[in-house]
Chain A
Amino acid sequence: MEYFLRRVIFLIGTLWVAVTVNFFIPRAMPGNPVETMMARFHERGTMSPSAMKAITVMLGISHGNIFQQYGEYLNHVVHFNFGVSYTYFPYSVTYMISHALPWTLGLVGVATIFSFGLGTMFGIIAAMRRGKAVDGSLTILSSFTNTFPYFWFGLMALYFLSFVYHWFPLTGAYGASMTPNLSWSFIGSVAYHGFLPALTIMISSIGGWLLGMRNNMINALNEDYVLLATAKGLKPSWVAWMYVARNAILPNLTGFAMALGFVVGGSLLTEIVFSYPGIGYLLYNAVVNEDFPLMQGIFLIIVVCVVLANFVADLAYVMFDPRVRRGGAS
């Protein structure tokens, strides 16, 4: 119970820090970006008074002192009111995010699940064949894919597979002539458009799972129960998959839960390269257009996802590993 309580306190604490950081970044920067922003809006002169007010609140040109501003800001955040986007005026930040979020969740979510499954499996194989050619090539290959800039791989894939050979579309999440609906042809188009971005995410993240699982396996293979199982005459592959892997996968499972949290913010550059209409692309447009309310709203959403996933990961760990439960109670 104490463990659970500590996790809840940490959850709330992290959320509070993130919100506060978000509040202070624009106010702590020298050169006062707020004034430049406001000047730009007066020039454009396209804002309604209420939109102006929303922006002033978001940017902190409230007439109260800093504590009143902070209170006002917290109140807005709790109600998911992030103000009005000025690139996509008159749409609210919340509206824009809610329309981009499903694309990112679908694309990166599916890619993360595949990457975790395959990476963990190859990690087990590499550890079983430790020191052999399979192990060597798998580890070298994954250290390579793990360290190249993933958007760069996306660019190369885009060039060779889409531009030169026309196997895949160049941009977007579905055919330009289509409207989103639940027909098979639309779903097919989504899968077709999502293949290359998903491949890019998988290629760049699979190595991490592989290397992590391999390390865990090697540590677990030295345990006494492995010696006993081998001495009993069980087949090495049976021991590896049914005994060792089940123990070694625990850290990877926690990592997986956390990775699901990073899904929302983890594919920024991929989405930008493929012009995929998800959160990352939206954030990019917000940055390019200096749309600060949208930028901050997206950042908060990303943080909330990560923190919640981290919380779930901690709880899941207790379910999977009784040792943590006992450690938390003492």
Chain B
Amino acid sequence: MSVGAVAPPPNTPLVVKPRGAFREIAGVLWSNSKSRIGLIILGIFIAVSIFGPLLTPYNPNDSNFQDMLGPSLQHWLGTTQNGQDVMSELIAGTRISVIVSFSVGAIATFLAMLIGITAGYVSGWVDEVLSFLTNVFLVLPGLPLLIVLASYAPGRGMSLIVVIIGFTGWPWGARVLRSQVVTLRTRDFVVAAHLAGDSISRIIAREVVPNMLSLVMANFLGASTAGLLAAVGLEFLGFGNPSQLSWGSMLYWAQNSSALLEGQWAWILAPGLCIAFFGMSLVLINFGFDAVSNPRLQEESK
């Protein structure tokens, strides 16, 4: 990544050519100190989720230790009610949590793009209907809706959670992307492409989407953060798959075996901190994307 990439001067409309878009965004992200910290933290989490099984001090399924031990040199975060090592569980559980977070983000962003771009580009009654739908879903309260859906759904499990959260997490993005498309639609380069006889799908793919890449990415990160929090909440309530290691299922087991009353506070502290740091890294990266799409927020000194 090029550290020296120059941020565009403030107050110029940011219209980037498709090919240079990724590079330019990466440059702004890295030059922004907040998003740089975020990228580093996120990198660590992704590395742990990939190489997790190699890094655990013990086998996370090994239940031969004494149960409910507090933190010690042998077990940095203590042990569970079954005598598993909490540190090993935490490392092994990172993978599922990261996957859940990004899958929810991807589903929600895809739907947001589909609905937002269609509404913004097609306009007319299609826009009216889709915008109404977006606004309705925007005010439907998230967690209660998720709980009701999850309690009626047959069976339990992570994939169910991912699908439910992903399919209810698109409205914010759809609204933001729609208004961006509405302003882009009348820009000269889009009109030119239209006059040149390009098909709508080609215009959207080649002219519209590259010019709102930063918004799409920001939406993806936001949806991933919200998705992880919602998933952890549902898992904590027992809607997940308790036998699958993740930060949420750790909190579920810790709560259900009264970890706090037994004094095993580290079992609850650690997954919560991981969730918070993971979410924070995405939010910090988002500060960088805000700066890309709104030059006023860019840090002057860099």
Q: Give residues in A with beta carbon < 8 Å to B.
A: 10, 13-14, 17-18, 21-22, 25-26, 29-31, 33, 131, 139-140, 143-144, 146-149, 151-153, 155-156, 158-160, 163, 215, 218-219, 222, 258, 261-262, 265-266, 268-269, 272, 283-284, 287, 290, 292, 295-296, 298-299, 302-303, 306-307, 310
Contact = CB atoms under 8 A, between A and B. Distances in A.
Given A31-B154, A144-B276, A147-B279, A306 B136 contact: no
B32 interface: no
B225 A153 contact: no
B280 A156 contact: no
Contacts of A310: 139
B contacts with A: majority SS: helix
B299 A149 contact: no
A10 B135 CA distance: 9
A159 B251 CA distance: 14
B284 A306 contact: no
Contacts of B154: 29-31, 33
A115 to B, nearest CB: 17
Nearest to B248: A149
Contact of A148 (B147, B148, B265, B275): B275
Contacts of A152: 251, 268, 271-272, 275-276
B176 to A, nearest CB: 14
A131 B144 contact: no
Contacts of A33: 152, 154
B283 interface: yes
Interface residues of B, number: 50
The residue among B136, B139, B153 with the most chain A CB atoms within 10 A of its own CB is B139
B151 A295 contact: yes
Given A25-B152, A131-B299, A299-B145, A143 B135 contact: no
Interface in B10-57: 34
Contacts of B260: 155, 158-159, 163
The residue among B151, B279, B280, B290 with the most chain A CB atoms within 10 A of its own CB is B151
Nearest to B238: A288
Interface stretch (B118-126, B188-196, B228-236): B228-236
B74 interface: no
13 contacts: A10-B135, A13-B136, A25-B149, A29-B153, A140-B34, A144-B277, A147-B279, A148-B272, A149-B251, A163-B261, A215-B297, A268-B233, A272-B237
Given A131-B300, A146-B283, A306-B140, A153 B272 contact: yes
A258 B300 CA distance: 34
B229 A287 contact: no
B4 interface: no
B202 interface: no
A149 B229 contact: yes
Given A149-B275, A155-B260, A219-B296, A143 B147 contact: no
A283 B297 CA distance: 41
Contact of B139 (A148, A163, A306): A306
A18 B139 CA distance: 10
A157 B36 CA distance: 31
Nearest to A308: B139
Contacts of A30: 154
Contacts of A25: 148-149, 152
B279 A265 contact: no
Given A149-B276, A218-B297, A302 B268 contact: no
The residue among B225, B265, B300 with the most chain A CB atoms within 10 A of its own CB is B265
